[in-house]
Structure 1
Amino acid sequence: MNWMLLAPIILYFVFIVGIGVYSYRFTDSREGFHLGGRKMSSWVTAISYAFSGMSAFVLIGFVGMVYTMGPSSFYTLIGYNLGFAFSYLFIAKRIRNYSEIVGAYTYTDYFVKRVRGNAHIIRAISALSIVVFMSAYVGSQLAAGGMTIETVFGVSPLVAIIIAGIVVTFYCLFGGFAGVSLTDYFQGILVVIGTAILGIYMIIHAGGWSEVVAQVAASDASLTTASMGAGGSTLFGMIFGFLTLGVAIIGRPHDTIRFFAISSSSEIKKSFAITLTALSITYWGAFLVGYSGRVIFPAIENPEYIFPIALVELTHPLFAGFMISVFLGLLMSTADSQLLSAGSTFAEDIYKKYIDKNASDKRIVMVTRLFIVIVGILSTVVAITNTTSIFWITVYASAGLAATFAPVLVISLYWDRLTNAGVVSGMLSGFITVVVWKSIAPEISWIMTEALPAIFISAIVTIVVSLLTKQPHIERIRYELDRAKKTWA
């Protein structure tokens, strides 16, 4: 075992577990455990929001896509940036304010309190979607970690996945939302810096940008343009498909909950600017890694292995260890957020409402931690048994979460007529559409993923059913909507 390679990783793990233990002091209440007391700064919110959402996709899935598609891969990132921009411009301020107005600690609790109807089905659908899709999502992150550790250390993927699952689950148990957000913040900073350094280093190693472009053109001229040699309807279909990937990041619970916790809605604009800056730097770094990787490793069997192979073969062990820490931080920044979201949903929306209505804050926090362990185990099983590409399982899981929640979330922040029946119908139709679309139309995912048709259907169903039913608290809701749209200092 190369200790120069391993030492930075061990130190990093000790550091993030230490953050989790430090953050334990924020978890003495339900609001403290689930939202960090609504005291997160714009910087922490921005970085944790960005990198709880990007996951292992950047250095595994996207790098492999760049290797295969060249500049055409950037349509995907444009789509994602549009999704992030939409979330900040149309959701962030209002959900921050409205969640505090109704006293919602969890995502599901917000919907229940917003429509003031029969909450049972909302809680059931929400819990089902979160457990199903987040288990798959977290599993994809752990699988990506296993790929990297297997390549770098020659360790069995099974052992690597189990280790990653234990570490992520451990600091979620202690730190709650504050611990997750703080670790996401430090991990995100490392991702931005580390990815940029590796990308620039690989371009220099390959002979400079002009040499990289020349060699890529010699092997496949279509990889020097953003069209891949396509034209007409084929090109349009490709661009449309990749741009629409961005809708799948809107309204996902583990991302959106960050907006609940920011210290003030007046911090939203600053947070937005930080998020897009951090993501843009990371995107370009990852692009340079994938593009130069095509020149440096022209015969690689699986392009998704470019990142770990480049570390092993091109860099000093200390730098490689640092970069592995960056990558593990990236995948864990998503996994920890999803574990916490799943645990909070079960404890607040199932246990307290149906099992022990008089449960103390201390017991609720304990139950949250127990369910985090359960979902962590399920996710580890998914990671061990998964054979699907990291990119596509991430896209599918994101689509499921977005289709269940995004349409009803946006409508709830702007329309006073939204009813309990509308939310139930919208969530259920979105969830079912994603599952059915995957079954009946898997071959056209590159033109239209599950997210777009599912979100469209969910929105239509939500509006139609709400128009056919009655919202008995409409005057109160109009007052709340008016308060929520203002900027709170």
Structure 2
Amino acid sequence: MTASTPMLVTFVVYIAAMVLIGLIAYLRTKNLSDYILGGRSLGSFVTALSAGASDMSGWLLMGLPGAIFVAGISESWIAIGLVIGAYLNWLFVAGRLRVQTEHNGNALTLPDYFTNRFEDNSRILRIFSALVILVFFTIYCASGVVAGARLFESTFGMSYETALWAGAAATIAYTFIGGFLAVSWTDTVQATLMIFALILTPVVVMIATGGFDPAMAAIEAVDATNFDMLKGATFVGVISLMAWGLGYFGQPHILARFMAADSVKSIPAARRISMTWMILTLAGAVAVGFFGIAYFAAHPEVAGPVAENPERVFIELAKLLFNPWIAGILLSAILAAVMSTLSCQLLVCSSALTEDFYKAFLRKDASQTELVWVGRAMVLLVALIAIALAANPENRVLGLVSYAWAGFGAAFGPVVILSLLWKGMTRNGALAGMLVGAATVIVWKNWIGLGLYEIIPGFILATLAIVIFSRIGQAPSHSMLSRFDKAESEYKSV
């Protein structure tokens, strides 16, 4: 299906607006801190929506509604797990990380924070954590590119290869130009667009099927088990879906939002805004897939594209039920979801390469201007690798994301939590936790399985490794303990 002119115009205007924001941010970017963390200047509203938008990728509007459309409400366990995990992350990690990174060398990246927090003169923590970021985030970036390509492919009738480049180009442009400020400002716009689309669409779908009661009756007529939260569920299956929430504690692109807040005082308000946004968007995504069952049961003649790929359920409903101008805005929400997450991931990879490899090992005395331009070059490099990984049109968004999400959650989650809550943690404990967490995810995913999401054994074994190796090795130095106590005292005084 070729796109109508209104939808094409809407997309072009939207992308142009994002690039314009990038240009404005370019004028505000003076040094590497500005490019990587926006000079730690984000207020609570931007922090909240940027954290939400960078978290909820194309999966929110494609993967989740598609899963609900196929299997019914039982797939919503994942959304419940995410809400719990995100709330705990805001509650226990956000404020402490903002304070601790400032007290530990004003760290700009997670590897930078780990190196300073544990006084790692060998810099092995920096190298390994940066490598984990590059490996898993490149996979994650590829999933974003796939989602963008699917959107352009189905909306504009492009070939997958053309859609791949079209979908990635706009995100690369504003991330390259404006860095963190551009990413955070555009995230705020994109988060607003996403919540608008996910509240409006299920309401209109429900109306189009005759109202709430007829829609529910139609869903039941298709398959009564669509209402069963435990449909086909096992204890292991439900725990695996809920365990997605564990991933939040180790996601560098979300943790970077906490580090960039203008003050720890902004965190409580940001938490309330972000959690409200998240609950509404997840509920909307579930409702799109759920009421989509009723709509396509009543209109089987237009169900072909969704039967072929359920991840298109939101796209097809927007095109079928709305005026082309409104449909263009709604489909821009998918582009917003893809762009907001992909841009954050590109920037985190760029910061790892620039701050943790280039500056740390190659050019310690590099000027700020040089570092910013190296950061921009790294954005391009990582984007090209992600595009190459996404070249296979059979890729599925959710499968790629789950692997990367588990990798970060297990490798970094326990290290981040314990580094903020336990002053007795040591460098050897941190390194053991990262190694065990990352290795467990890879081994479990490829050779063990047992139907259990790999983040669970990864998280548990990483936590045990941190505690054991922190206990049996050299105790933390006096300066480590002193910095921890000062940061914790500042956090508790707010």
State the TM bucket, normalised to the shorter chain.
Answer: over 0.9
Note if 1:432 corresponds to 2:439.
yes
Normalising by structure 2, report the TM-score.
0.94
Is 2:348 aligned against 1:341?
Answer: yes
Maintained 8 Å contact 1:416/1:477: yes
Match of 2:197 among 178, 194, 197: 194
| Partner AA of 1:207 in structure 2 | G
2:236 matched to 1:237? yes
Determine the C-alpha separation between the residues in 2 that align with 1:95 and 1:27: 23
Q: Check conservation: 1:137, 1:397, Cα contact below 8 A.
A: yes
Q: Give the conservation status (yes or no) of the 8 Å contact 1:63–1:307.
A: yes
2:300 aligns with none
- Kept in 2, the 8 Å contact 1:147–1:157? The answer is yes
In the alignment, what sits opposite 2:145?
142
> Is 1:481 aligned to residue 485 of structure 2?
yes
1:353 matched to which residue of 2? 360
The 3 A distance-change label for structure 1 pair 355 and 488 is farther
* Superposition map of 1:24-39 within 5 A: 24-39=26-41
1:160 aligns to what SS in structure 2?
A: helix
Counterparts of 2:256 and 2:368 in 1: how far apart (Å)?
A: 20
* Letter aligned with residue 98 of structure 1: Q
Alpha-carbon contact 2:434-2:462 (below 8 Å) kept: yes
User: Partner residue of 2:376?
Assistant: 369
> Which residue is 1:260 aligned to?
259
CA distance in 2, matches of 1:203, 1:131: 43
- Between 301-310 and 76-85, report the one with greater CA deviation: 301-310
Q: 2:116 aligns with which of 104, 110, 113?
A: 113
What runs of 5+ residues in structure 2 fail to find an aligned partner? 298-302
CA deviations 1:272-331 (Å, max 9, x no partner) are 111111111111221221112112224523211111122222221111111121110111
- C-alpha separation in 2, matches of 1:254 and 1:179: 14
Q: Is the 8 Å Cα contact of residues 149 and 166 (structure 2) preserved in structure 1? A: no
Amino acid in structure 1 at the alignment position of 2:427: N
* Match for residue 47 of structure 1 among 45, 49, 57: 49
Provide the secondary structure at the position in 2 that maps to 1:297.
helix
The AA in structure 2 aligned to 1:346 is L
Instruction: Report SS of the residue matched to 2:167.
Output: helix
Q: Does 1:404 align with 2:411?
A: yes
Give the whole-Å Cα distance in 2 for the aligned partners of 1:100 and 1:140. Answer: 32
Q: CA deviation at 1:110?
A: 0.4
Instruction: Choose the corresponding residue for 1:127, options 121, 127, 130.
Output: 130
1:303 paired residue number: 310
- Deviates most, 291-300 or 188-197: 291-300
The offset of 1:26, in angstroms, is 2.6
Q: Call closer, same or farther: CA 1:458–1:479 in 2, change over 3 Å.
A: same
Q: Is the 8 A contact 1:145 1:331 kept in 2?
A: yes
The question of whether the paired residues in 1 share the 8 Å contact of 2:146 and 2:164 is answered with yes
Contact 1:417 1:474 in 2 (8 A): no
User: Which of 48, 61, 64 does residue 62 from structure 1 map onto?
Assistant: 64
CA 296–378 in structure 1, closer or farther in 2 if over 3 Å, else same: same
Deviation at 1:475, TM superposition (A): 4.7
Question: Residue type matched to 2:222 in 1?
Answer: S
Offset of residue 389 of structure 1: 2.3
CA spacing shift, 1:417–1:487, aligned 2, 3 Å: closer
State the match for 1:468 in structure 2.
Answer: 472
Equivalent residue letter for 2:27: R
- RMSD across aligned positions (CA): 1.6
CA apart distance, 1:484: 3.1
Aligned length: 482
What is the one-letter code of the residue matched to 1:74?
S
Which letter maps to 1:307?
A: F
Tell whether 2:13 aligns with 1:14.
Answer: no
Kept in 2, the 8 Å contact 1:63–1:286? The answer is yes
CA drift at 1:471:
3.8
Q: How much does 1:388 deviate?
A: 3.7
**Which structure 1 residue ranges, 5 or more long, are not aligned?**
none
Please state how far the C-alpha of 1:403 moved relative to its aligned partner.
Answer: 1.4
Candidates 165, 168, 181, aligned match of 1:165 = 168
- Counterpart residue identity of residue 254, structure 1: H
Matched to 2:465, the amino acid is V
Matched letter for residue 105 of structure 1: L
User: Matches of 1:174 and 1:488 in 2, distance apart?
Assistant: 38
Mean alpha-carbon deviation: is it higher for 378-387 or for 164-173? Answer: 378-387
Cα distance in structure 2, aligned partners of 1:66 and 1:100:
42
Residue 479 of structure 1, CA deviation: 4.2
Contact 1:117 1:419 in 2 (8 A): no
> Which segments of structure 1 move beyond 3 Å, counting only runs of 4 or more?
none
| Cα distance in 1 between the residues matched to 2:186 and 2:254 | 15
Structure 1 334/62 Cα, relative in aligned 2: closer, same or farther at 3 Å?
same
Q: Which moved more, 1:17-26 or 1:298-307?
A: 298-307
Partner Cα distance (1:208, 1:474) in 2? 66
Question: Is the contact made by 1:414 and 1:481 (CA closer than 8 Å) also made in structure 2?
Answer: no
Letter of the aligned partner of 2:165 in structure 1? I
2:54 maps to a residue whose letter is S
Task: Look up the equivalent residue of 1:257 and give its one-letter code.
Answer: A
**Structure 2 partner of 1:212:** 215
Measured in 1, the distance between the counterparts of 2:493 and 2:24 equals 29
Q: How much has 1:156 moved relative to structure 2?
A: 1.1
Cα distance, 1:87–1:303 mapped onto 2, change above 3 Å: same
Aligned match for 2:100, one of 92, 95, 98 = 98
